[in-house]
Structure 1
Amino acid sequence: HRYWDGNAWTSHVSDDGIQGTDDIAAASAPQTEQSAPSGLDRLDAGLTIGDEGSKVDEQLHGGGRRGVGIEGTIEGGGGGILTEPILVVNQKAKLIELSNQYTVFDQHGTAIAVVNQVGQSTARKVLRLVSSLDQFLKTRLDITDSDGRVILRLTRPGKIVKSTVIVSDGNDVELGRIVQQNAIGKINFALEVGGERLGSIKAENWRAWNFSITDAADREIARVTKTWEGLAKTMFTTADNYVLQISERAPEPLNSLVVASALSIDTALKQDNRGLG
């Protein structure tokens, strides 16, 4: 939000209660096709390590905590995130993370979508740099295809204990909500459309590594498995990796909620495990 002093717009801005400044001349200048990155953005990019696509094969076909043990190739899929039966969602590993970024791969290791946290002000990034309070503020993720089109948008309003993730289409029309049901024990989420529960996401253990996704009749239609990112990334970064396996394609809008499940779980739960900075 930009503040009005009674005569003109000022450089004083706020983002979810975080105060800061943003030059009014720069804000009103015509936007170029690609804005130059800020110093914080360059820091964020410079401290990104590794290749999030390097272990997709192991995540799919490996055993234990490193993979889900799929044999061969699963039939079906049209090359998009809403049609592929297998999605690998890997977060970019960063020594200092100022924004959430993920790459989504199909079962062949092809990157078919990217996920970026959007709408962060400089003040918000500074807050994230020096503390963990950012986890309680509104978070928005845009999922875009290889052509740059927004396919899904995930919005998690500010939260204290339990999270709600609003899933919208590329035109920002709400499709449904993923609502956290509890904060202690095996974590469960409700998949809701217009207040009606169409399905659930159920953690199979208290550590929240494996989730079963069921429809309204409590039949499993998909699974989300968190795979181990390796010792170095576990120790020095906050990056998490997930595999989504869809065994039965649900009708829309439930299908979109299922596809959004891995990102919603990560957005809802991951920062809670980090504690306060």
Structure 2
Amino acid sequence: MSILDRSTFFIKEHVGMMKLVDRYDIHDPDTDEKIGFVEEQPGQLVTYLRLLVNKQLMPTTIVVSDLTDNGVLFIIHRGVSFFRPKVTVKSPQGEMIGYFRAKLFSLGGGFLLFDANDQQVGDVKGDWKGWNFKLLSTSGEELGTVTKKWAGMAKEIFTSADNYIVALSPTIQSNRSLATLLLAAGLAIDTVFKESKN
């Protein structure tokens, strides 16, 4: 079974001191079986520039892979950004699936989701703390949630590693591109929009 056939994902960020590149494991939340992984691939120059420049301003590429198929599922890319980053989601063959655009003003954080035809298909809204998010359709229907999972006091205080659950509505599973875009949005909250330089 491919990751994209599932509706719930437990995302665990790798813990490390002075990390310049982020890595995450994707687990089945019921069995804790590892089913995939996420790896940031910013390029060598950008990796070292992160020692001097805020990570959120630098371009990055995030590759999401499935263990069962041993292949890349989709790629998230953010170019150089100063204000409202545009984050693209592409297939392994480079075909556009959709993109995200940060909102101008949002109390808990959030961004808009667009398909490959530049049509808005959703909205990501965070709570006032920026820990929990709702993935909504343009009509306001809840398509999924992203919920922060606490890892214990010591880990929360001494590391920046986050764990969270991405849960997608089973009703969208038949729309593979929307399911991919929503999973990418759930991953992008932490990997692209929230992470700052270490």
**TM-score over 0.5 for the pair:** yes
Q: Judge conservation of contact 1:162–1:183 (CA < 8 Å) in 2.
A: no
- How many Å separate the matches in 1 of 2:145 and 2:178? 14
Unaligned runs of 5+ in 1: 1-78
2:181 to 257, 260, 268: 257
Deviations 1:23-60 (Å, cap 9, x if unpaired)? xxxxxxxxxxxxxxxxxxxxxxxxxxxxxxxxxxxxxx
Letter in 2 for 1:167: V
Deviations 1:171-208 (Å, cap 9, x if unpaired)? 121100122113541322111012111111111x2221
Unaligned runs of 5+ in 2: none
Q: Judge conservation of contact 1:178–1:191 (CA < 8 Å) in 2.
A: yes
- How many Å separate the matches in 1 of 2:32 and 2:2? 13
Partner of 1:145: 66
Deviations 1:106-141 (Å, cap 9, x if unpaired)? 1321111111112421x333232x334233111101
If the length of structure 2 is used for normalisation, what is the TM-score? 0.88
1:219 to partner: Cα distance: 0.7
Q: Judge conservation of contact 2:56–2:192 (CA < 8 Å) in 1.
A: no
1:145 to partner: Cα distance: 1.3
Structure 1 residues 231 and 161, CA gap change in structure 2 (3 angstroms): farther
- How many Å separate the matches in 2 of 1:106 and 1:227? 14
Asked whether 1:112 is paired with 2:35, we answer yes
Partner of 1:196: 119
Q: Judge conservation of contact 2:46–2:59 (CA < 8 Å) in 1.
A: no
Percent identical pairs in the alignment equals 25
Asked whether 1:229 is paired with 2:146, we answer no
Structure 1 residues 132 and 206, CA gap change in structure 2 (3 angstroms): farther
Structure 1 residues 202 and 118, CA gap change in structure 2 (3 angstroms): same
1:263 to partner: Cα distance: 1.3
Deviations 1:61-81 (Å, cap 9, x if unpaired)? xxxxxxxxxxxxxxxxxx322
The structure whose Rg is larger is 1
Letter in 2 for 1:156: R
1:133 to 28, 43, 54: 54
Q: Which 4+ stretches in 1 moved above 6 angstroms?
A: none
- How many Å separate the matches in 1 of 2:179 and 2:86? 18
- How many Å separate the matches in 2 of 1:229 and 1:172? 36
Asked whether 1:85 is paired with 2:7, we answer yes
Partner of 1:67: none
- How many Å separate the matches in 1 of 2:195 and 2:122? 24
Aligned residues: 193
If the length of structure 1 is used for normalisation, what is the TM-score? 0.65
Letter in 2 for 1:116: E
Aligned-partner SS, 2:179: helix
Q: Which structure exhibits the higher relative contact order, with contacts defined as CA atoms closer than 8 Å and separated by 6 or more residues?
A: 2
1:266 to partner: Cα distance: 0.8
1:98 to 5, 20, 26: 20
Aligned-partner SS, 2:47: helix
- How many Å separate the matches in 2 of 1:199 and 1:184? 15
- How many Å separate the matches in 2 of 1:222 and 1:189? 14
Aligned-partner SS, 2:4: coil
Letter in 1 for 2:65: T
- How many Å separate the matches in 2 of 1:201 and 1:87? 17
Q: Judge conservation of contact 1:249–1:255 (CA < 8 Å) in 2.
A: no
Partner of 1:271: 195
Q: Judge conservation of contact 1:242–1:262 (CA < 8 Å) in 2.
A: no
Structure 1 residues 183 and 231, CA gap change in structure 2 (3 angstroms): farther
